[in-house]
Copies of this chain bind each other. A is one copy, B any other.
Amino acid sequence: MKIRQSLCTGCRRREVFFFRPYSGQRLCKKCFVESVEAKVRATIAKYNMLDFNDKIAVAISGGKDSLSMLHILAKMELARPKASLTAVTIDEGIKGYRDEALEIAAAECQKLGIEHHVFSFRRLFGFTLDELAEKAWKTDEKLTTCSYCGILRRRALNVAASEVGARKIATAHTLDDEVQTVLMNVFRGDLARLAKEKPVTDDVHPKLAQKVKPFCEIPEKESALYAYVKKIEFQASPCPYSSGALRNDFREIVNSMEEKHAGTKFTIFNTLERLRPALYAVVDTSQYADCVECGEPSSGGLCKVCELLKKMR
């Protein structure tokens, strides 16, 4: 009997479509899709991310990761009638980039019958990111565009969750994002962030929604492939501000190590998970105070958002 090497190792019936180097699986399209969905469900359960009656704000950018996640969460919601999803998109105000993404995000939400709300930097902070980037040239601002965009985006997401009445925010950080962040924090020596960046944020302040990352164990490549197989439209071009980002260096490093040693990303991710209890013992997990200006949670005195906007005005 001739053995058909090209049959799926899952169903043993259909043709192989995808080889997963870190597990040795050779999967057909259907089994691949099911394996990603099963992994997301398992991740949600493992980290106790969601409750049966959660109102969840799903942060979608219009990229492959967040739209793949939205599809999977929408499917899961069907079996959980007391849970509800609302999609939220932060419009930083990046000309020639975010506009296209907004259209795609809105269209996907309509297809899935999910409410979609857009929150703009302009409305929340009075400036678009383009305007801030231009102003930064004229001040002594040392933060990179990605850094202050991150500060404002975090705040915007919290406002968004609060306005749509959600106590949880799901973001589509992939395994790759998480591992890049780990290495960046090791290279920067930032033990506090190494401790805090995790699949579920600590629920530390009544004003802050809890952030959960259902894709934290999904490799970016598989997230993209999921979108492709499910024919999800997404924005493929990268943010114009991202080209100089430190993160790109780490993406290359990690991808080249994964190429040589399949499973490296999971190893690094799991190392951090094992290390985390110990990290809490050496870092300052200080409590939040209210910002003296806006009243939002801050690490003390003026919050980072107010500090940034003050400089920019």
Query: B187–A267 contact, CB under 8 A?
Result: yes
A270 close to chain B: CB less than 8 A: yes
Which listed residue (B189, B264, B270, B277) contacts A271, Cβ 8 A? Answer: B189
Query: A282–B271 contact, CB under 8 A?
Result: no
A42 close to chain B: CB less than 8 A: no
Provide the residues of chain B in CB contact with A249, threshold 8 Å. Answer: 256-257, 260
Q: Give CA–CA (A270, B277) in the complex, Å.
A: 20
Enumerate A230-261 residues with CB–CB distance to B below 8 Å: 249, 253, 256-257, 260-261
Query: A186–B282 contact, CB under 8 A?
Result: no
Provide the residues of chain B in CB contact with A182, threshold 8 Å. Answer: 186
Query: A191–B282 contact, CB under 8 A?
Result: no
Provide the residues of chain B in CB contact with A7, threshold 8 Å. Answer: none
Smallest Cβ-Cβ distance to A253: which chain B residue: B253
Smallest Cβ-Cβ distance to A182: which chain B residue: B186
Question: Majority SS of interface residues in chain A?
Answer: helix
Chain multiplicity (copies): 2
Query: A187–B278 contact, CB under 8 A?
Result: no
Q: Give CA–CA (A267, B253) in the complex, Å.
A: 18
**Interchain nearest-CB distance for A292 vs B (Å):** 31
Enumerate A128-187 residues with CB–CB distance to B below 8 Å: 182-183, 186-187
Q: Give CA–CA (A189, B278) in the complex, Å.
A: 15
Q: Give CA–CA (A278, B276) in the complex, Å.
A: 9
Most chain B Cβ neighbours within 10 Å, of A264, A275, A281: A275
Query: B257–A189 contact, CB under 8 A?
Result: no
Query: A191–B267 contact, CB under 8 A?
Result: no
Provide the residues of chain B in CB contact with A189, threshold 8 Å. Answer: 267-268, 270-271, 274
A279 close to chain B: CB less than 8 A: yes
Provide the residues of chain B in CB contact with A261, threshold 8 Å. Answer: 187
A2 close to chain B: CB less than 8 A: no
A310 close to chain B: CB less than 8 A: no
- 30 A-B pairs, CB-CB below 8 angstroms? A182-B186, A183-B186, A186-B186, A186-B268, A186-B271, A187-B257, A187-B261, A187-B264, A187-B267, A187-B268, A188-B267, A189-B267, A189-B268, A189-B270, A189-B271, A189-B274, A191-B271, A191-B274, A191-B275, A249-B257, A249-B260, A253-B253, A274-B282, A275-B275, A277-B281, A278-B278, A278-B279, A278-B281, A278-B282, A281-B281
User: Which 8 pairs show the lowest CB-CB distances between chains A and B?
Assistant: A278-B278, A189-B271, A189-B267, A278-B282, A278-B281, A253-B253, A187-B264, A187-B257
